[in-house]
Structure 1
Amino acid sequence: MSNWLTVLPPILAIIVVFWRKEVILALFVALASSEILLLSQVGVTYYTPLSGLISTLERIVGVFSSAGNTRILIFSLLVGALLAFMRASGGVTALVTKLINGGIANSPRKVGLLSFFTGVVVFIESNLSVLTAGILSRGLFDKFNMSRARLAYIIDSTSAPICILILLNGWGAYILALLGNYELPESSVSTLIGTIPLNFYAIIALVLVLYTVISGKTYGTLAEAERNPQATLAHTEIEQPATKARYMLLPLMTMVFSMVGFMFWTGNGELTSGDGSKSVLYATSLACLVSYVLMRTSGQYRHKQLIDIGFKGMGELLPLVTIVLLSLALGTSLKALGTGNFIAGLVADSLPLFIVPAMLFLAGSLISFSTGTSWGTFAILIPIGMPLVVNLGLPPELILAAILGGGVFGDHCSPISDTTAVSSIASGCDLLEHVRTQLPYALVGGVLTFIAYIVAGLVMI
């Protein structure tokens, strides 16, 4: 089906996310419409809404026919259990206390650097990154009369950019799963690694954070907040019982180091040839086991309590797992429909190729802003962008980097982003105050990035 109807599913997805601001509904509507179009494509002349629904459900079930896809879904659930174990054990609070009592932060600059580098080190998961850095630093920010809005900006603008640059985490595994359906010039892992120097928004965002921390200067709405730090405080505070720092450190270190080890192992000694979905699943499972054993042997938790904690954590991530499931199904369906091929033809005939990366960055920004999720944005745009690479010979690293950067930028600007909300909670900053003070910095980074992709398109295409 090489006609305009093939672009209807992604258009419907974009309309729904702007209208309802709900990515799960948008992905389901797009998937259902794609399956109905596929029924007509294969010659089914008579079908009912029920047949379209059945085809949609079978497409979702078909996701599990891929071992890699199934690993990603299981990993997404296990991350919820791991985070729940870390919270319940009090390991995060204990680590905070240890660092503070050690005299590591004794000036505003050192406090800011501590927040930044904590977010860098905890690159495994964006929410874990902001929770750790926020809880670690907010008391110190109060001591040096720095606003909670500044803390919220630092941890929010560090977490996602770091996660998308240091890809030994769920972000990398998820993107690898989305890339698995396309025959790219290089391996999916090599392509993903190649996006690192081209992910201009993530790099610019981190540079802006470092400038703010080192110089101590703030601008615009954030400068206003600095003049009245108490006004940025939220009404609630996060309290966790302190136990031992090892309850957080050991599982986290297990996950980081074992993930690297499993990448080497599954790649027969080559890191870039490693299997991302296997490595991240094995490492997360091992980290969960370590966390379980630590808490069980402490004598404070029974087996049933730990199981309940783990499943509660999994339940918190069910919306994310649903997004992953629908996005994988939609990517397969759109590939069968030929959406990417048709759009590639339109781009080749009507748009200068050099501007394609900038336009994909812009599209990703709009979708991510409207939905509050970068992962859902990747699910919509990667099935569109990768066929452009295959059919038009565009640089895969540049196209993918533009999509990833757009997803992160829109997420930074969005008041309905989960990372925005968690950053506010972790820092103890009012949500709307955080959105208002971070937006100017994100917009500056977004404009510079758009220009950078135009220049990169002129140079590389």
Structure 2
Amino acid sequence: MTVLAVAVVGFALYCFQAFGEAADFGLLSLLPTAVVIFTALYTKRTIESLFIGVLVGLLMTNSPADFIPQLGTTFLDVFMNDTVAWIFIACGLMGSMISLVTIGGGAEAFGRWLTTRVHSRKGTLFSTMALGLAIFIDDYLNALTIGSSMRKATDKKKVSREFLAYVVDSTAAPVCIILPFSTWAVFFAGLLEDNEVAAKGAGIDLFIDSIPYMLYAWVCLVVVVLAISGKLPLLGKMKDAEKRAASGKLVSDADAVYNTELEGGVEKSNMLNFFVPILSLIFFTWYFDIDIMSGAMASIFVTLAFFGLQRLMSMGQMFDGILKGFVGMIMPLGTLFCGFMLAEVNNALGTTEYVINATTGFMTADMLPMVAFVVMAALAFATASFWGIFVVGMPIILPLAVAVDANIPLVVGAMISASAFGSHACFYGDSTVLSAKACGISPMSHAITQLPYALIGGVISAIGFLMLGIML
């Protein structure tokens, strides 16, 4: 491994010497991402793998003398990015909110209530899926709240945390894209208007027209139902995880550090201490134009007041819970931060532009939906950029779709499906990381056990887009 690392670093330095700072790296622009994927699979560690990929990319684009200053500049650029700052605050506050519900005994009360009404393993998992369908406003909100809420209920049925994370993640981004009242709908509707395939104010109409063609989301939900019901057999590492859980060991030894529980929860709590915070979180997120950061802030104030009126705990205990919840999000946020750094490096190397331009020759009217899905899904998976790459990709693909007279809602559905696939499958993507955090396992354990099911959805979707492209 050491020899291989030295070879990669040496090759990265050669790339800089051979091509220079303003180079068109072509196929070599994929090197940092390939290093990340290989290192992560080899070490089973996410943050370190991402950081190594960032270092390789910086060595390719900077001289040894400029390497350290550019690394510092990349750190600062990512820190000062408005989107990154929003994610850090929003996810930290979501961690605080979940912590309050946990120490207030709300999560425990909900788990007790559910187990008295749902007596089977399948019923508990279908309840988890139903909650995912109900909390459709945002994939962050979905993953964090449902994973944390259902842990105790699924633990009692000896469901592995890996399987719980798979169900939670499968009802995050895939559900958000097929409902026009989510953060995803707002973002992509605006992007469609910016690219002039929809008139101003009509982007959401085109988004709605594309919902039937968002094949990955529909297929993904069918696969989840089949997996829960046992009609689809356990695949890959998921089989090992479920076998381990059946013996009573819900979390692997390697993931024990991720399986943290907050102490000091109220023992005799009631259901209102779960539903009032969660429902206020959903309401305020919707009220503030689908902004979970504002929603979490408002919900924390409501929860503090509600717990205070009941004298559940002291104000000091509640603020300690808020801080513990925020700090508990540092590890997943570190993964997301390094993912954004990798995206910066890929932008400098021109990775997205290279891949799209290299495949535009295959984008005929019949083939375009399938090729667009496969290419954008691969890019989303590799770069962990599920919205950003479409800012680059849509201005290239959509005019091409108009030029070859392709079905525009179908092409839009293919690209948004690709975004959902990337969010679902990428092992350092935000939805994957947050689902793993909520379920108390590592992102790698979640990603590896989930990947076979995501690939089934991806392959079926690609075939579907090919067939629809020919027919329409």
TM range (shorter): 0.5 to 0.7
SS at match of 1:220: coil
Range 20-29 or range 350-359, more displaced: 20-29
Q: 1:7 to 1:385 in 2, by over 3 A?
A: farther
Q: CA deviation at 1:453?
A: 0.9
CA offsets per residue over residues 240-289 of structure 1, 9 Å max, x none? Answer: 35456656544543453455556xxxxxxxxxxxxxxxx134x6425412
Find out whether 1:362 has 2:409 as its counterpart: no
Alpha-carbon distance change, 250 to 396 in structure 1, aligned in 2, over 3 angstroms: farther
Question: Which residue is 1:405 aligned to?
Answer: 417
Aligned residue runs from structure 1 range 1-400, under 5 A? 8=24, 14-20=30-36, 75-91=86-102, 94-101=106-113, 103-166=116-179, 168-176=181-189, 178-179=191-192, 181-186=194-199, 187-215=202-230, 218-221=233-236, 222-223=238-239, 225-228=241-244, 229-230=246-247, 233-235=251-253, 236=256, 237-240=259-262, 241-243=264-266, 249-258=275-284, 260=286, 279-281=289-291, 284-295=293-304, 298=308, 300-301=314-315, 317=333, 320=336, 347=360, 351-371=363-383, 373=384, 376-390=385-399, 392-393=401-402, 394-400=406-412
Post-superposition offset of 1:133: 3.2
Matches of 2:339 and 2:158, distance apart in 1: 40
Structure 1 residues 29 and 200: alpha-carbon distance in aligned structure 2, compared to 1, 3 A threshold: farther
TM-aligned CA distance change 1:141 to 1:388, over 3 Å: closer
Residues 319 and 100 (structure 1 numbering): CA distance in 2 closer, same or farther, change over 3 Å?
same
- Determine if contact 1:413/1:435 at 8 Å carries over to the other structure: yes
Q: How many residue pairs align between the two structures? A: 409
The equivalent of 2:458 in structure 1 is 446
Q: Which amino acid aligns with 2:304?
A: M
Q: Give the deviation of 1:223 after TM superposition.
A: 4.5
Shift of 1:321: 7.6
Distance 1:185 1:325, change over 3 A: farther
Distance 1:381 1:125, change over 3 A: closer
Q: Alpha-carbon deviation of 1:111?
A: 1.1
Would you say the 8 A contact 1:198–1:397 is kept in 2? yes
Q: Is the 8 A contact 1:91 1:246 kept in 2?
A: no
Superposed CA deviations along residues 356-408 of structure 1, whole A, max 9, x for unmatched, are 2212222233233334x2xx143224422344323541444333332332233
Change (3 A) 1:418 1:193: same
Offset from partner CA, 1:133-176 (integer Å, 9 cap, x none) = 33444444444444444323222322231233335444344445
The one-letter amino acid paired with 1:408 is: A
Residue type of the alignment partner of 2:33: V
Q: Partners in 2 of 1:23 and 1:446 — Cα distance?
A: 24
Structure 1 residues 414-433: aligned runs within 5 Å: 414-428=426-440
C-alpha distance in 2, partners of 1:398/1:10?
Answer: 29
Cα distance, 1:203 vs. partner? 1.2
Do 2:166 and 2:450's aligned partners in 1 also have CA atoms closer than 8 Å? yes
Cα distance in 2 between the residues matched to 1:435 and 1:346: 28
Return the offset for 1:127: 4.5
- Change in Cα spacing, 1:132 to 1:28, as seen in structure 2 (3 Å) is same
Judged with a 3 Å threshold, the aligned counterparts in structure 2 of structure 1 residues 18 and 176 are, in CA distance, closer, same or farther, namely: farther
Offset, 1:205 = 1.0
Amino acid at match of 1:288: M
Following the alignment from structure 2 to structure 1, what is the Cα–Cα distance between the partners of residues 243 and 322?
47
CA distance in structure 1 between the aligned counterparts of 2:108 and 2:126, rounded to whole angstroms? 15
Residues 182, 387 of structure 1: 8 Å contact kept: no
Q: Which residue in 1 is equivalent to 2:18?
A: none
Question: Is the alpha carbon distance of 1:344 and 1:325 closer, same or farther for their aligned partners in structure 2, counting shifts above 3 Å?
Answer: same
CA positional deviation for 1:422: 4.3
In structure 2, do the counterparts of structure 1 residues 247 and 147 end up closer, same or farther at CA, with 3 Å as the change threshold? closer
In structure 1, give the amino acid aligned to 2:389.
I
Question: 1:239: Cα distance to partner?
Answer: 1.5
Report the residue type matching 1:220 in the other structure: L
Does the aligned pair in 2 maintain the 1:247–1:291 contact within 8 Å?
no
Aligned counterparts of 2:394 and 2:109: Cα–Cα separation in 1: 46
Is the CA contact 1:382–1:400 (under 8 Å) kept in the aligned structure 2?
Answer: no
Q: Using the TM superposition, give the Cα deviation of residue 450 of structure 1 relative to its aligned residue in structure 2, in angstroms.
A: 0.6
Q: Which residue of 2 aligns with 1:39?
A: none
Q: Distance in 2 between matches of 1:311 and 1:12?
A: 39
Task: Report the residue type matching 2:290 in the other structure.
Answer: V
Q: 1:345 to 1:90 in 2, by over 3 A?
A: closer
Q: Which runs of 5+ in 1 are unaligned?
A: 1-5, 35-48, 263-278
CA RMSD, Structure 1 to Structure 2 (Å): 4.9
Give the AA of the match of 1:120.
L
Structure 1 stretch displaced more, 437-446 or 246-255: 246-255
Q: Which moved more, 1:446-455 or 1:140-149?
A: 140-149
Kept in 2, the 8 Å contact 1:149–1:437? The answer is: yes
